[in-house]
Amino acid sequence: MPAPSIRHQLFIDGRFVDAESGETLATLNPHDNTPIVDVALAGKADVDKAVAAAKRAFPKWSRMAAADRGRILLKLADLIEANGEELARLESLDTGHPIRDSRRLDVPRTAACFRYFGGMADKFQGETIPVEEGFLNYTLREPVGIVGQVVPWNFPLMFTSWKMAPALAAGNCIVMKPAEITPLSSLRIAELMAEAGLPPGVVNMLPGLGSVAGQYIAEHPEIAKIAFTGSTATGRRIVQASAGNLKKVQLELGGKGPNIVFEDANLQAAVNGSAWAIFHNQGQACIAGSRLMLHEKIADAFLEQFIPLAKSIRLGNPLDENTEMGPLTSAQHRERVLSYVEVAQGEGGELLAGGKSPGGDLAKGCYVEPTVVRAKSYKDRVAQEEVFGPFVTVLTFKNDEEAMQIANGTDYGLGSGLWTNNLQRAHKVARDLHAGMVWINSYKRVNPGSPFGGVGQSGYGREMGFDAMREYTQVKSVWVNV
């Protein structure tokens, strides 16, 4: 039986309610595929109800003093910290994140993001513009209106804050759909929002199927903007569906992050950083360093350290404090990740580590061993397609020119990293990488103040920082005849 505190209904207009259809779907524990709780599944009628509630809430919420909106977000951040252990356990149970990561990263980052945008609410402002004599011109930054937000299952807790915090700080109302397989932490956040004083209707949380609730949010004529995180294929569908009412669209899509190790890098730091880049969260990260690009002079020395490190990662129950890597989030996804081992071998690639599910106690869960493959060419599928698991593709290069050709040789452009002690090379490569984010002698750093997003097939728009506030507002120019 689920713990009584696990919320499993839709959150509409400040209340937990069943879906109109009465439909539910069991969310599973990926450690052993046992059901955690049956969760209500939103349909079109529920989306309509949520939009109506958001419409009712919008006039008051959008005109509330920005500092008061901010205060609610600050209180929410405090509540997230106060309930941090419960949230961490819920996230680990539902997604498979190791509890040490949920405690150390997901929960504090979620609180930090709400706190950052709580502080931002009354600091994001318009401008006065010098125009012709006899006129005063100024701009207002107005909220967009009702915003649809659709997020995937890899970081459900953190994504509630990345998506909702700037939208709320700017005065928008929200209809959010978490992924159907990981709705639990988002529902708990909705409950904490009510406790923090968020008025009913400002945030509505609708677990449901992407093809039903997600698609309808994208199509809905009264939703002014859609912010989406997920696969590039679904991103395209969102763009098409949102054309009807010309929604503003923000897309955070897939990636195939190049992580480049030059011959002059600090090898130990690069080995450790590269393991973090790909294996954190079981590799289920859009910014994962999934293409490990090694200068041919140091490739062997690097792999001599990297492969034993990959093999030493402790897999186990995510609720065990000693676990370093948990299960993937679903059995279906585990099969997809493992299918890429065959793809690699079919292309003449070499399996250097992992490539299978562990046996024993973990056989019932969605586990995959840390997997390292060496590809023949950067044009191979394993070097081009997002695997989204603990699966890294090794490529080698001869010189900087070839490194750039390989690094920029995919349609994606999200996270990227490089390891070198040459300052000039570092900045030159950072400039030339086709990517939304570059980490130098590091990988996968995020902060609520630093813009996050991609280029090319990785999407458009930015989360975090002032850029996120621009995404969630529109400019009105006011002319005064003086």
What positions carry a catalytic annotation? 252, 286
Query: Which of these segments, 32-40, 224-232, 439-447, 468-476, binds ligand TAP (CB under 6 A)?
Result: 224-232
Site string for ligand TAP, 274-313 (x = CB under 6 A): ------------x---------------------------
Applying CB under 6 A, among 238, 298, 310, 338 the residue interacting with ligand TAP is: 238
223 binds ligand TAP (CB under 6 A): no
Query: Which of these segments, 70-78, 145-153, 394-402, 472-480, binds ligand TAP (CB under 6 A)?
Result: 145-153
209 binds ligand TAP (CB under 6 A): yes
Site string for ligand TAP, 384-403 (x = CB under 6 A): --x-x---------------
Quote the CA–CA distance of 405 and 369 in Å, as a whole number. Answer: 30
Residues 6+ apart with CB under 8 A from 201: 13, 14, 53, 54, 55, 56, 57, 173
Nearer to ligand TAP, 362 or 414 (CB): 414
Quote the CA–CA distance of 429 and 396 in Å, as a whole number. Answer: 16
Applying CB under 6 A, among 21, 137, 231, 266 the residue interacting with ligand TAP is: 231
Query: Which of these segments, 5-13, 251-259, 275-283, 470-478, binds ligand TAP (CB under 6 A)?
Result: 251-259
Nearer to ligand TAP, 148 or 355 (CB): 148
Label residues 372-396 b or e (16+ Cβ within 10 Å = b). bbbbeebebebbbbbbbbbbbbbbb
109 binds ligand TAP (CB under 6 A): no
25 binds ligand TAP (CB under 6 A): no
215 binds ligand TAP (CB under 6 A): yes
CA atoms within 13 A on the CB side of 2: 20
Q: Residue 354 Cβ, how far from ligand TAP at the closest point, in Å?
A: 20
Applying CB under 6 A, among 43, 255, 258, 465 the residue interacting with ligand TAP is: 255
Label residues 198-223 b or e (16+ Cβ within 10 Å = b). bbebbbbbbbbbbebbbbbbbbbeeb
Measured CA to CA in angstroms, residue 338 lies from 201, 296, 308, 385 at distances of: 42, 28, 20, 14
Contact yes or no for 185/153 (Cβ under 8 A): no
At 108, phi and psi to the nearest 5? Answer: -60, -35
253 binds ligand TAP (CB under 6 A): yes
Task: Report the residue count for the chain.
Answer: 482
Neighbours of 138 (CB within 10 A): 15
Query: Which of these segments, 7-15, 139-147, 150-158, 318-326, binds ligand TAP (CB under 6 A)?
Result: 150-158
Applying CB under 6 A, among 252, 369, 380, 471 the residue interacting with ligand TAP is: 252
Neighbours of 364 (CB within 10 A): 13
Which ranges in 372-414 belong to alpha helices (H)?
Answer: 381-384, 400-407
Beta strands (DSSP E) in 354-422 are 371-374, 391-397, 415-419
Question: Hey, which residues between 166 and 195 contact ligand TAP (CB under 6 A)?
Answer: 177, 179-180
Contact yes or no for 352/303 (Cβ under 8 A): yes
**Residue numbers at the binding site for ligand TAP (CB under 6 A):** 150-154, 177, 179-180, 209-211, 214-215, 218, 229-231, 234, 237-238, 252-255, 286, 386, 388, 414, 454, 458-459
